[in-house]
Structure 1
Amino acid sequence: MKPRHALEAFSSQLCPYEREEVPKYSKVYYISPKDRKQYATPEKAEFNHGYDDERGDYIINMHDHLCYRYEITDLLGKGSFGQVLKCLDHKTGEYVAIKIIRNKKRFHAQALVEVKILQDLVSWDPEDRYNNVRMTDHFYFRNHLCIAFECLSMNLYEFIKSNNFRGFSLALIRRFTAQILNSLSLLHQHNVIHCDLKPENILLKYPNRSTIKIIDFGSSCLQTEKVYTYIQSRFYRSPEVILGMTYSMTIDMWSLGCILAELYTGYPLFPGENEQEQLACIMEVQGVPKPYLVEKSTRRKLFFDSYGNPRLVPNSRGKKRKPNSKTLAQVLRCNDQLFVDFVSRCLDWDPEKRMTPDEGMFHEWIQESSHKSVSNRQSFGTRYSEGTLTPPSSAAKLYR
């Protein structure tokens, strides 16, 4: 209805701040119940008139509204950027995920970059073929930038957890991999670096299907407009980022290699407690980087002595990791040479020699027929057939 009609019909359900706010909207689709809203007044400027907490996060009340259109139904997650909510769009009748950015200048500036990349993704992929999340709307509400997305299912970390960390069949992993490569191919065509590829940022599109989408472009940037040096979640962080080298789109392929290993074994490939051990974990399997790479590293003194030898520091359990003491095949416990080769080519120390998404698409492991038996390893509770997933019964609640 029109705002003036909403004011007449629901004035008793509106707090003082809302009575002044409603006329600014062209249409009203939803007004929250009186006992479900955060009461605020225009005169109280502290903490955004009472709508924010001390951190600058918007105070969430279930079944309250956003922009008199979206009804908050669940909290999907939170992080340094703000919060993600599941909301019912009363204009379309569909559920969406809405990311509410913290009311702080630096988070707002980065979110504007994210919005621009998300807008570009829609224009680059109008038919939604490249496995990237779709932004459906973006708007300001009470000094918070909000970004609305299609609502998806569980992420791949939850999926691994639902299978009791026992890993999945190579047939299913290959299907996931082809879709991730599809996403990265589009990003690479347009010089976009995702910067935070990890299982938590890869979501099943539907509860019982193997279609996936890449999400969270909050750290993303153009290769020509890099802003941050400290990027990527630690287990999936490329060595060039750790060492302080110039980085490029190839860091996403490093993350992909780490993700594939985790999907197969159920556990992170390089589980460093800190950056020192993270690099030690990498060297344990991949050996010591060549001197020319160490020389390019602005942080080399943290990790290497003056002779280029690695500084081996024990972790919290007193364990020192010895470089080149394990092979990738041993760590993966996999005898499929094509899969091991694919992961290995994602994990080349030299970013310029690392496999690209397009090269990955033509790798023999991806091209190999899904009908051929590629491993004698069983899928441990997850069946893959014609792209359909059957979850273990213990994980049924995660598939709602």
Structure 2
Amino acid sequence: MFRYFYSSPLKGGLATLRSASMTSRKKDSQNGRSQNGGSKGDDRRRHRDPRENAKEQVREQDHKRRKDNEREERLRRRNEVKMVLQKTSTQANSSSSKTTSQKIAAVKRPRERSDKEKEPTRPVKRPRLEKEKPQEFDPKAFPHVAYRRITTAPDNDSDGHLVFRSGDIIRDRFQLMKILGEGTFGRVLEVFDNRNPTKRRALKVIKNVSKYREAARLEVNVLNKLRDKDRKQKYLVIELVEHFDFFGHVCLLFDLLGLSVFDFMKNNGYLPYPIEHTRHIAYQLCYSVKFMHDNKLTHTDLKPENILFVNSEYRTEEYNKRKNRRVVKDTAVRLIDLGSATFDHEHHSTIVSTRHYRAPEVILELGWAQPCDVWSIGCIMFELHTGKTLFQTHDNREHLAMMERILGSMPSKMISKSRTKYYMHGRLDWNERSPAGQYVREQCKPLHRYHHGDSEEAELFALIEEMLTFEPHKRITLGQSLTHPFFSRLPRHQQLDIKEIQQIYAQSNGAALPASSAHNSHHNHNHR
């Protein structure tokens, strides 16, 4: 028999009810065993007075009703808390006089129930909460939002990176939002700048490691000198807004740009850029790096990752019958990452450049100068046009084999001057029948076989071939590249001033600009 003892749920009534129920089931089980065994156990339910049965049914109904009321009360209180929180968030921008503790107390204190609510006839439904749009952080406008001001030496991870949480504020000015990129030097973070709240910035935070701090100071020196030479930001090198030291982390502040040309291509499934986009990006790259060369600087680390779109918004258009591709709306770019840039008078490291864009004179350890940047630009132009890396390798000997497969034999003068042991008796020490040799034969082919006869494409590959000349002193210069026929098809608004082009051409060739190029520029200007 079940026996019910009621007390308020807030004082342990449910526990009392559960205990009494288990006790009654145990006694009933014992009574049942006695009867089955033939003893004189009495059946209380069968011989009980009918009035007692009626009272028990009333108690059961009363208990059930109380449980329903308690459950509905809990739902109502939960909904009240949610509605108060929602109302608080929508009124966060208003200058409220309530403190945080008062708001919490208001949320926890339930309102008095009306007579109609004491006996609800159906469960209370939960109101739907609309998702609010994220807003920019402002400590004054959002006093209820938790944030952390870093005013003492922060923690660093095992690699020397700054440890932070999204929303942290440094120097009472910059709010750290998220990581945009990471490298051996440190991380690039997206930040809000309180002094210029309409602009988002990129903060390059260098590792708290001595060698990286020194490299960062050299980069600051290069950027400052280029800024002094180019106050109007005409030459497309990213501008250093300011720099500072934050507990051993050198921090460089820049304007926030778009994706790199590599990341855009990666997100596009490595589909190639339209040839007019390749033309404009390459033109800007030649123009910017030529400015560095004119100031006795070599970048030494040119690659698609270090060329950023100013704005990487895009539209989608048909690529072929099977797929569409993204097409960037504005092809304006900026050159970044001058941490490896070297002045002519400074010490030149033996190895420079990222592997895939490394010039042959660097691999053979013959010494290098500004022509190694030209080689890198030729590799980049090929990649933008085809979507493929020209020299996909991580081994010096295989790299040289690819160069000879694509561009022909290495000049004997370079081989004889080389102090490395990659060549034996004037020939590359390379087994063409090995798996690596088979890979090179299958993946690489002579450069002229990559284009398909179109006149624009033929001009592009002609320029690439001149940039990928083995001997550095015979390689085309960037001043000569800017006057190449491939760039003569640029729209007028994307070209330099025609007088400046003529000056560049005269300096590099000792002659005036050909009439066809001048006419083309004038023709485009009239149709602008």
Q: TM-score, normalised by structure 1?
A: 0.77
Count of residue pairs brought into register by the alignment: 333
Q: Which has the higher contact order (CA 8 A, sep 6+)?
A: 1
1:361 maps to: 482
Aligned CA RMSD, in angstroms, stands at 2.6
Name the SS of the counterpart of 2:300 in structure 1: coil
* Change beyond 3 A, Cα 1:73–1:230: same
Do residues 69 (structure 1) and 173 (structure 2) align? yes
Deviations 1:124-164 (A, max 9, x none): 11111111111101000011111111110000111212332
- The structural deviation recorded for 1:239 is 0.9
Secondary structure at the aligned position of 1:99 is classed as: strand
Change (3 A) 1:106 1:326: same
Whichever residue aligns with residue 423 of structure 2, its letter is: F
How far does the alpha carbon of each residue in 1:28-70 deviate from its partner, in whole angstroms, 9 at most, with x for none?
A: x9899996549897xxxxxxx5521122111132111232211
Q: Distance in 1 between matches of 2:431 and 2:151?
A: 53
| Further displaced range: 219-228 or 349-358 | 219-228
Aligned to 1:218: 339
Change (3 A) 1:316 1:135: farther
Query: 1:320-350 CA distances to partner (integer Å, 9 max, x unpaired)?
Result: 5369x83212135564321111001110001
Report the CA distance shift for 1:317/1:292 in structure 2 as closer, same or farther (over 3 A): closer
Q: Which has the larger radius of gyration?
A: 2
The residue type paired with residue 448 of structure 2 is A
Note if 1:321 corresponds to 2:440: yes
- Deviations along 1:92-116, one digit per CA (max 9) or x if unpaired, are 1121111111111111111111001
Matched, 1:115 2:220: yes
Q: Secondary structure of 1:352's partner?
A: helix
Superposition deviation, residue 316 in structure 1: 6.4
Task: Give 1:61's aligned amino acid.
Answer: R
The correspondence for 1:250, drawn from 357, 360, 371, is 371
Higher deviation after alignment, 221-230 or 111-120:
221-230
Letter in 1 for 2:390: L
AA in 2 matched with 1:330:
R
Q: 2:149–2:170: 8 Å Cα contact kept in structure 1?
A: no
Counterpart contact for 1:238–1:251, Cα < 8 Å: yes
Identity of aligned residues (%): 27
Residues 280 and 490, structure 2, Cα contact 8 Å, conserved in 1 = no
Tell me the residue number matched to 2:206: 101
The reply on whether 1:304 has 2:409 as its aligned counterpart is no
**Residue 274 of structure 2 is aligned with which of 169, 194, 213?**
169
Residue 234 of structure 1 pairs with residue 355 of structure 2: yes
Question: Are 2:473 and 1:352 equivalent residues in the alignment?
Answer: yes
For 2:401 and 2:192, the matched residues in 1 are separated by 47
Deviation per CA, 1:203-232: give whole Å up to 9, x if none: 000123110001111111112213422221
Cα separation, partners in 2 of 1:40 and 1:184, compared to 1, 3 Å: closer
Aligned partner of 2:396 in structure 1 is 275
Conserved 8 A contact 1:345-1:355: yes
Look up the equivalent residue of 1:136 and give its one-letter code. Answer: V
Q: Which residue identity is paired with 1:80?
A: T
Partner of 2:38: none
CA contact (8 A) 2:240 2:253 kept: yes
* Paired residues of 2:149 and 2:169 also in contact (CA < 8 A): no
How far apart in 2 are the matches of 1:52 and 1:295?
49
Unaligned runs of 5+ in 2: 1-137, 313-328, 493-523
* 1:96 counterpart SS class: strand
Structure 1 residues not aligned, in runs of 5+:
1-28, 42-48, 372-385, 387-400
The answer to which structure has the higher helix fraction is: 2
Report deviation, 1:290: 0.9
Report the Cα distance in structure 1 between the residues aligned to 2:208 and 2:453, rounded to whole angstroms: 48
Q: Which of 102-111 and 225-234 deviates more?
A: 225-234
CA distance in 2, matches of 1:370, 1:273: 39
